[in-house]
Structure 1
């Protein structure tokens, strides 16, 4: 099934102009049209102003919004294709409903850009995903029109179910909770838990399935085939609404007959679809499929849904990347994209040189010599570099959809059969599978390897996507080993060790982006490296990409005649023999960690030092709070983990005689 996920905002839009001439011509044609459009957006001060526009003006407005989306995301990066595909749907929702009294819940949240533009954030839209700007995801503290924060998939139905129940408890019978869910989110089990409970209610709840057939990874699974069969009956709602309009114009009996049709299992639908839908079995009224780019049809079906005053499921069919030729041609590459050139569609930077790519390519090399190696992804094959494995070994590659819990348990079961499963997953998304790591992997001693991608801060995607918490919860899983390589070659060493020397759960965590290394790589290993120079009583400890920042800061201090020793950890858990003894030999120890302050390795080392009677000073530098969207460099500075911040820290240490 497809996976209308997420949040990969620094994707590759590489070579979007294969068949480049035609794509560029269409792009230029679009740009010329957009330049002639009436500037309707400037006349909209609130969503209510939309209701005064004519259908022709709404069509022009949608073109203007698309132009703004392309122009803005080309400069800021972000989720482009999904937002281009949901413009008409968002406009129709705001024309039919009354936000913020009616509550909109956006699953994942990466398709909310048009919603933000229409709810008072037009003037700030150029700050999208920038530090001190507006978030790329819904945030209630940013606007009253954002009813719930989101950034992970498959949550919207549960959220809308709870909001609708809250409305009922408050005596509000007029307003609605509306969940917009991508079809990729329907691969996540939480969607069905929400459907199961929502369908039993009689609340004002509407679920809109934005079915665009393509997102980050190709749709997989039985539901993908099911939705595909339903798309073939796209004329159902148009036919039903046409019949209702004709009957309503018939004197006397018209409206009553139309009401009977609306409140029964439509004969028209039975003829066209031949059977009830899975969504009706959950207790919903099902309406669809509807053309998601036809404003008239969208408004009609939304108005019809309001009349039921019970859970309604609307199936909307959209085109991802609608209106921008390169994004329509390769929507997965424009799901999340860095800055790009509008005319060609080419991105400003390529992600070919990245930890993700290196991990995926190394796994392929190892799998060529070991048929036991299997690769598992939860809808992020391209994002995690596993697309290389998919091409080479399709029979050993498994995309399970947006289902991290299933991915972990499935991997454990593969391991029980003697295979070597490697599950590559973003740190932020691994959080969903903690229970399965504990029960299905650890208790049985199953040997599963995790490639934990996007470990640490991730920049402009903000709070919901940072990979700062995996260390804290993985350390609580028995028989777990965690590596944090500081360069590509070290990552390769750790992957080989994790596969062939470790038992149980073996984790390799690495950051988003490319290798930036200036430290000496001649003595790389999978344990630790102690760098000791001139006599000093101060030791700085770190791991992963922070180590290079530490190394550069220490070189700057050395040029000023101030020295300290360094300890680079590669296996961060359990701590290698000798690490505590090394730390015990110094009077002042500082641990720098790109992971959550509470429960991290720096806390673990502090406990061990305390147990052994350490009498020196011990200080930890690590984040204690959520970090909003900003550049990765800015976030590292905020945490005190950039080269500049560490250099300043060392100067303060030296001033107080600790270096």
Structure 2
């Protein structure tokens, strides 16, 4: 590569001509395609932001000037241009680069961005801070796109931007190919006019003249902006949401025209007050298969860069994905019950709600990246007698916590929450691990919390939520393949709040919840070979917890282990501790096994389970050490010392 191999920081970009920068853009695309064909990641989004990234780092003094990316999978070019090119092959791997922006990784990453719609609020805070510190030469840019404008937080930020003194620039990266905005003719003329230095100098002189002659007060300055916006709307015969917020709007412009982007950004760079530049980009730009099918190529996995053929695993005779079991089961239930509807916030493919959408399009609702709305929207339908299955990734449900409490649980509405991607999710890392759900849901009254051991239990719980319960019901399950090749069963109603014994034993009792119990079962098999007898119980429900079962276990066993793929504080282990304390089982020794009180890094699920001690080997070590305790052999019941500290993986790369 002629230029890219010599670019180690944005300062190297500034030495190049515009023509050379266009070559850099081509090389960046080639590099990203090469890298991601071998090491999967978020593909289409970053290909669409190449020119924008080059233009921003060329014009702005980063990292002093702040670039705040919304959803970090737009930022691969940004990472490559800011000193991480030679490490990019480690992207999303254990000990390697994060797939998202991460301030612990680079000073150029100004804000962590794994969840959508945060950039405007964060950047506004930075812009206000710059004003308060009198740093008038510091520029703050928020880059939002890839669906993030459907999130309510984005509009809260925009609403506040017009009421605070700031010079924030918001760049709306519009890569939704279903939106066909006019970018030619009069529109192009107005963009050139309104972003030109001469126009804005005249505009400012007129405003200052009015002000000097006391024809307009400081309080009325927004009237001038509103008047300008009205004239522009009259000419284009279009109205603009952002101008309604008193934010200066420019665009839409071609986001792949590098010279044009540089010219426009240079012209508006030093304008006073908040402003928004609307650019149109093509998701997957430069790779034809990705341009044609943006959804599939958002994160396509391995592929042949020459042919565009995706390299798919042979899943014949393999267990189904949990999300596919959910999707097929939902369709089968909806065929028998016309009250059932499906809701998801922008993840129909990921959670397999697409099966429902294909079969019952009028009963399937993708509400965009708007988790809080998804919950309250579901609550509204439930109030009118429908039965909504609201499928939200576990980590994204955190964004709708108040709605779960206030709009669903408080009113005892029959909304069925299906929390996909529960537990450790792998390469997406700490922003996406679904490890908090058991703990954050458990305090909520009226809410049933469950987790299936396998695919049959997932189907049974879905059936139970519809036909065995009249209030809110949460079912959390992991990402990826299940345990069974024959996943179809005849679903039946489970007794709510009841666990089940999976295996008899006499030395130790192990209580697990959810699919992580399969790791525990394999560990128990190995323990048995060493003469350790472990009874295994699948709790099924965290709330209401099976107190009858816990009484039986506590009376029979002095040594109990709890295993969960959620945070150690607040989940199953905490529930059992509370039960033992409240019922005076003072002679019972309890060891809680779960996710430590730390943010866990990215890597494969297998690697991360090993790090946190919830893989088969880790659970076996816990069992062995507790068994030694039962025999009077001194053993501290702490996580094994050879475990890698998850935090080290984040901070000390």
Shorter-chain TM-score above 0.5: yes
Q: Does 1:539 align with 2:509?
A: yes
Within the candidate set 161, 178, 195, 2:158 is matched to 195
State how 1:144-183 maps to structure 2 within 5 Å: 144-182=107-145
Offset of residue 405 of structure 1: 0.9
Q: Deviations over 1:277-299 (max 9, x none)?
A: 21111121111001000001111
Q: How has the CA–CA distance of structure 1 residues 282 and 521 changed in structure 2, closer, same or farther, with 3 Å as cutoff?
A: closer
Q: Which runs of 4+ in 1 moved over 6 A?
A: 244-248, 258-264, 518-524
Q: SS at 2:295's partner residue?
A: helix
Offset of residue 529 of structure 1: 2.2
Offset of residue 544 of structure 1: 1.5
Q: Residue 636 of structure 1 aligns with which residue?
A: 609
Q: Residue 313 of structure 2 aligns with which residue?
A: 349
For the Cα contact (< 8 Å) 1:588–1:658, is it kept in 2?
no
Q: How has the CA–CA distance of structure 1 residues 573 and 350 changed in structure 2, closer, same or farther, with 3 Å as cutoff?
A: farther
Q: Residue 648 of structure 1 aligns with which residue?
A: 621
For the Cα contact (< 8 Å) 1:378–1:425, is it kept in 2?
yes
Q: How has the CA–CA distance of structure 1 residues 546 and 517 changed in structure 2, closer, same or farther, with 3 Å as cutoff?
A: farther
Q: Does 1:418 align with 2:368?
A: no
How far apart are the structure 2 equivalents of 1:632 and 1:345?
Answer: 26
Q: Which has the higher contact order (CA 8 A, sep 6+)?
A: 1
Q: Residue 606 of structure 1 aligns with which residue?
A: 577
Q: How has the CA–CA distance of structure 1 residues 591 and 310 changed in structure 2, closer, same or farther, with 3 Å as cutoff?
A: same
Q: Residue 102 of structure 1 aligns with which residue?
A: 65
Q: Deviations over 1:117-163 (max 9, x none)?
A: 11111111111011111101111111111111111111111001100
Q: Does 1:337 align with 2:304?
A: no
Q: Deviations over 1:583-604 (max 9, x none)?
A: 2120100111111111112101
Within the candidate set 285, 292, 303, 2:248 is matched to 285
Q: Deviations over 1:38-86 (max 9, x none)?
A: 4311211210111121222111111111111112222221110000000
Q: Residue 409 of structure 1 aligns with which residue?
A: 376
Q: Residue 644 of structure 2 aligns with which residue?
A: none
Offset of residue 171 of structure 1: 0.9
Q: Does 1:559 align with 2:529?
A: yes
How far apart are the structure 2 equivalents of 1:247 and 1:485?
Answer: 62
Q: How has the CA–CA distance of structure 1 residues 337 and 261 changed in structure 2, closer, same or farther, with 3 Å as cutoff?
A: farther
Q: Residue 455 of structure 2 aligns with which residue?
A: 488
Q: How has the CA–CA distance of structure 1 residues 620 and 521 changed in structure 2, closer, same or farther, with 3 Å as cutoff?
A: farther
Within the candidate set 166, 179, 182, 1:232 is matched to 182
Offset of residue 99 of structure 1: 0.5
For the Cα contact (< 8 Å) 2:503–2:535, is it kept in 1?
yes
**Is there any run of 5+ residues in structure 2 with no aligned partner, and where?**
208-223, 633-653
TM-score by length of 2: 0.87
Q: How has the CA–CA distance of structure 1 residues 235 and 162 changed in structure 2, closer, same or farther, with 3 Å as cutoff?
A: farther
Q: SS at 1:122's partner residue?
A: helix
Offset of residue 571 of structure 1: 1.9
Q: How has the CA–CA distance of structure 1 residues 539 and 274 changed in structure 2, closer, same or farther, with 3 Å as cutoff?
A: same
Q: How has the CA–CA distance of structure 1 residues 582 and 291 changed in structure 2, closer, same or farther, with 3 Å as cutoff?
A: same
Q: How has the CA–CA distance of structure 1 residues 247 and 356 changed in structure 2, closer, same or farther, with 3 Å as cutoff?
A: closer
State how 1:15-414 maps to structure 2 within 5 Å: 38-182=1-145, 184-214=147-177, 228=179, 231-235=181-185, 238-240=188-190, 265=228, 269-270=232-233, 273-342=236-305, 343-349=307-313, 353-414=320-381
Offset of residue 398 of structure 1: 1.2
Q: Deviations over 1:529-549 (max 9, x none)?
A: 213435x23111112121111
Q: SS at 2:253's partner residue?
A: strand
The worse-fitting range, judged by mean Cα deviation, of 138-147 and 571-580 is 571-580
The worse-fitting range, judged by mean Cα deviation, of 48-57 and 626-635 is 48-57
How far apart are the structure 1 equivalents of 2:230 and 2:578?
Answer: 70
For the Cα contact (< 8 Å) 1:235–1:289, is it kept in 2?
no
Q: How has the CA–CA distance of structure 1 residues 335 and 580 changed in structure 2, closer, same or farther, with 3 Å as cutoff?
A: same
For the Cα contact (< 8 Å) 2:128–2:165, is it kept in 1?
no
How far apart are the structure 1 equivalents of 2:240 and 2:502?
Answer: 65
For the Cα contact (< 8 Å) 1:202–1:309, is it kept in 2?
no
Within the candidate set 597, 614, 620, 2:592 is matched to 620
The worse-fitting range, judged by mean Cα deviation, of 345-354 and 291-300 is 345-354
Q: SS at 1:322's partner residue?
A: coil
How far apart are the structure 1 equivalents of 2:619 and 2:513?
Answer: 14
Q: Residue 5 of structure 1 aligns with which residue?
A: none
Q: Deviations over 1:92-114 (max 9, x none)?
A: 11111111111011112111110
How far apart are the structure 2 equivalents of 1:117 and 1:324?
Answer: 19
Q: SS at 1:418's partner residue?
A: coil
For the Cα contact (< 8 Å) 1:519–1:551, is it kept in 2?
no
For the Cα contact (< 8 Å) 2:456–2:487, is it kept in 1?
no
Q: Does 1:590 align with 2:540?
A: no
Q: Residue 470 of structure 2 aligns with which residue?
A: 503
For the Cα contact (< 8 Å) 1:546–1:594, is it kept in 2?
yes
Q: SS at 2:545's partner residue?
A: coil
How far apart are the structure 2 equivalents of 1:579 and 1:126?
Answer: 50
Q: How has the CA–CA distance of structure 1 residues 394 and 124 changed in structure 2, closer, same or farther, with 3 Å as cutoff?
A: same
Q: Deviations over 1:202-222 (max 9, x none)?
A: 3120000000115xxxx7xxx
Offset of residue 359 of structure 1: 0.2
Q: How has the CA–CA distance of structure 1 residues 655 and 441 changed in structure 2, closer, same or farther, with 3 Å as cutoff?
A: same
The worse-fitting range, judged by mean Cα deviation, of 309-318 and 563-572 is 563-572
Offset of residue 259 of structure 1: 6.9
Offset of residue 348 of structure 1: 3.6
Q: SS at 1:593's partner residue?
A: strand
Q: SS at 1:314's partner residue?
A: strand
Q: How has the CA–CA distance of structure 1 residues 256 and 189 changed in structure 2, closer, same or farther, with 3 Å as cutoff?
A: closer
The worse-fitting range, judged by mean Cα deviation, of 574-583 and 432-441 is 574-583
For the Cα contact (< 8 Å) 2:320–2:484, is it kept in 1?
no
Q: Residue 18 of structure 1 aligns with which residue?
A: none
TM-score by length of 1: 0.87
How far apart are the structure 1 equivalents of 2:621 and 2:479?
Answer: 25
For the Cα contact (< 8 Å) 2:414–2:473, is it kept in 1?
yes
How far apart are the structure 2 equivalents of 1:612 and 1:261?
Answer: 78
For the Cα contact (< 8 Å) 2:513–2:572, is it kept in 1?
no
**Is there any run of 5+ residues in structure 1 with no aligned partner, and where?**
1-37, 220-227, 249-253
The worse-fitting range, judged by mean Cα deviation, of 87-96 and 540-549 is 540-549
Q: How has the CA–CA distance of structure 1 residues 558 and 306 changed in structure 2, closer, same or farther, with 3 Å as cutoff?
A: same
Q: SS at 1:579's partner residue?
A: helix
